[in-house]
């Protein structure tokens, strides 16, 4: 039995295969569905069914008059769809690129994900580079020039190069793997926390302290 549902694993509106349907009462049932796109399973809660006594029993899927079910109303899908992480205190253009990366990662578009994280890095550099020290050349050269100008810790430079490096995979013939994309996401997240979120939080604490002291 085929049904349409937004798969919580790949977040694509998909045909899914109804494997099992267990009635809860005469209008609701719990179902196990496998996604035709990613082949993963999801448990969904179906409401607005009209389950009559003769349909119930062990084989509801084959007994149920599906032509009567106009549209299945699905609620409470498990697992919950992955949510994009948010890094607070990002400049708007950096935030948009980062969220794009998170969105593509959740829907398993790894090539687009690493490209978006790379864009968030490029925009970060442009935002922070108030003296225009790193405006020319390849991203590699920009990072190096930026690091030199603003005396950036080595660990941070390495993170920048990792995000750049994974982002460069878009020029390869093979797409980045899930592991590579997840690692790029991790590096980008740490980087953005370090360069935008942490300083903003430190400032906020300083301001609070100031108010307490006064």
Does the footprint of Zn ion cover residue 119 (CB under 5 A)? no
7 near Zn ion, judged by CB under 5 A:
yes
Residue count, binding to Zn ion (CB under 5 A): 6
CA-CA distance, 91 to 94, in Å (whole number)?
5
| Closer to Zn ion by Cβ: residue 65 or 84 | 84
CA distances from 191 to 117, 152, 159, 197, 198 (A): 10, 12, 6, 9, 10
Q: For residue 110, what is the enclosing H or E element?
A: helix 110-128
Q: Which of 6, 38, 56, 128 binds Zn ion (CB under 5 A)?
A: 38
Burial class (CB in 10 A: 0-12, 13-18, 19+), 207: exposed
- Planar angle of CA 189, 77, 64, nearest 5 degrees: 160
By CB under 5 A, is residue 32 in contact with Zn ion?
no
Q: Does 163 bind Zn ion (CB under 5 A)?
A: no
35 counts as binding Zn ion under rule CB under 5 A = yes
Site membership for Zn ion, residue 9 (CB under 5 A): yes
Closest to Zn ion by CB, 103 vs 129, is 103
- Asked if 106 is part of the footprint of Zn ion (rule: CB under 5 A), the reply reads no
Question: How far apart, in whole angstroms, are the C-alpha atoms of residue 170 and residue 113?
Answer: 10
Residue placing its CB nearer to Zn ion in the complex, 178 or 203: 178
Shortest Cβ distance from residue 40 to Zn ion (Å)?
5
Q: Nearest approach, Cβ of 106 to Zn ion (angstroms)?
A: 11
C-alpha 189: how far from its chain's center?
A: 12
Number of H helices, E strands in the chain: 7, 5
User: Does the footprint of Zn ion cover residue 44 (CB under 5 A)?
Assistant: no
Work out which of 10, 31, 94, 160 binds Zn ion, going by CB under 5 A: 10
Under rule CB under 5 A, residue 3 binds Zn ion: no
Interface with Zn ion (CB under 5 A), residue from 6, 17, 30, 37: 37
Q: Residues with Cβ < 8 Å from 106, sequence gap 6 or more?
A: 11, 81, 82, 83, 84
Residues 6+ away with beta carbon under 8 Å from 194: 156, 159
21 lies in the site for Zn ion, by CB under 5 A = no
Candidate segments 31-39, 43-51, 109-117, 126-134, binder of Zn ion by CB under 5 A: 31-39
Residues that bind Zn ion (CB under 5 A): 7, 9-10, 35, 37-38
């Amino acid at each position: 039995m085929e049904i349409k549902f937004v798969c919580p694993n790949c977040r694509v509106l998909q045909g899914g295969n109804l494997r099992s349907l267990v009635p809860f009462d005469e209008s609701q049932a719990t179902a196990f569905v496998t996604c035709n796109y990613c082949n993963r399973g999801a448990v969904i809660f179906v409401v607005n069914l009209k389950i009559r006594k003769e349909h119930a029993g062990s084989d509801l899927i084959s007994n149920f008059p599906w032509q009567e079910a106009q549209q299945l109303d699905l609620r409470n899908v498990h697992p919950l769809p992955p949510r994009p992480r948010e890094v607070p205190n990002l400049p708007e253009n950096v935030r948009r690129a980062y969220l794009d990366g998170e969105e593509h990662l959740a829907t398993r578009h790894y090539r687009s994900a690493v490209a978006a994280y790379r864009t968030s890095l490029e925009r970060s550099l442009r935002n922070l580079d108030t003296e225009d020290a790193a405006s020319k050349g390849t991203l590699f050269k920009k990072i190096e020039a930026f690091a030199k100008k603003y005396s950036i810790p080595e660990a941070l430079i390495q993170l920048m190069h990792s995000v750049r490096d994974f982002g460069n995979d878009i020029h390869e013939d093979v797409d980045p793997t899930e592991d590579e994309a997840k690692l790029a996401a991790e590096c980008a997240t740490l980087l953005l926390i370090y360069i935008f979120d942490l300083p903003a939080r430190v400032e906020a604490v300083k301001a609070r302290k100031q108010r307490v002291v006064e």
